[in-house]
Chain A
Amino acid sequence: NFMLTQPHSVSESPGKTVTISCTRSSGSIASNYVQWYQQRPGSAPTTVIYEDNQRPSGVPDRFSGSIDSSSNSASLTISGLKTEDEADYYCQSYDSSNRRVFGGGTKLTVL
């Protein structure tokens, strides 16, 4: 079984750019799509990135996703930070054995 490891928390100031990493423990990060979900306090998750770098309609282009095979990791980058971006962010991926795994989540604080 593989795991997805995220930093527990990150913080940055409004207007700045922040990047959240998601490292896959085994198997290639490029073999299966990575998704990113935003969860504000007391709310259900919503999708901000799917299929590595695709944004659902309605998600601002301040949100972008990428993968790096050299570090076997995915990243979510949020530019022009706003206070409304403060939330927990989860990465997700899967494997050919029908295992679907979430990262432990990263708490983003916009100071």
Chain B
Amino acid sequence: EVQLVESGGGLVQPGGSLRLSCAASGFTFSSYWMSWVRQAPGKGLEWVANIKQDGSEKYYVDSVKGRFTISRDNAKNSLYLQMNSLRAEDTAVYYCARDLGDYGDYQDYWGQGTLVTVSS
């Protein structure tokens, strides 16, 4: 059974940093692109970033470029999102998701999410 478990969310002040983690199990983690997708309170889904199987390619939504960094550790079956210079508009539930497609174009399995709140 595919399982994705996020952790690391919490309350952080504007301008602060946070690192999210996602522990994957039930599939060969190193064979899949992986994504982070977020959902602001009461809003829709927004794709944030994804990373190739070997970490050699990474893509970001424009609003987080230069502030967020996606990474992975295939030996630990783990995905990460380093978030710096956080803003109020980054407040959201962040989901880890497994990707399909040639460039990780869409998601098939999702974790339960971790809430990030950016507020003073």
Q: Bound pair: A and B? A: yes
User: Which listed residue, B101, B105, B108, touches A56 by the CB 8 Å rule?
Assistant: B108
- Inter-chain contacts of B111 with A (CB < 8 A): 44
Q: Chain B: interface secondary structure?
A: strand
A36-75 CB mask vs B (1 if < 8 Å, else 0) is 0101000111110010000010000000000000000000
Chain A residues bordering chain B, tally (CB within 8 A): 23
- Inter-chain contacts of B106 with A (CB < 8 A): 33, 35, 50, 92-94, 100
Q: How far is the CA of A50 from the CA of B47 in the complex (A)?
A: 16
A26 is an interface residue with CB less than 8 A from chain B: no
A101 is an interface residue with CB less than 8 A from chain B: yes
Residue ID in chain B nearest A102 by CB atoms: B45
Residue ID in chain B nearest A45 by CB atoms: B110
B32 is an interface residue with CB less than 8 A from chain A: no
A47→B101 contact, CB < 8 A: no
A14 is an interface residue with CB less than 8 A from chain B: no
List residues of B whose CB falls within 8 A of some A CB: 35, 37, 44-47, 50, 59, 95, 100-101, 103, 105-113
List residues of A whose CB falls within 8 A of some B CB: 32-33, 35, 37, 39, 43-47, 50, 56, 90, 92-94, 98, 100-105
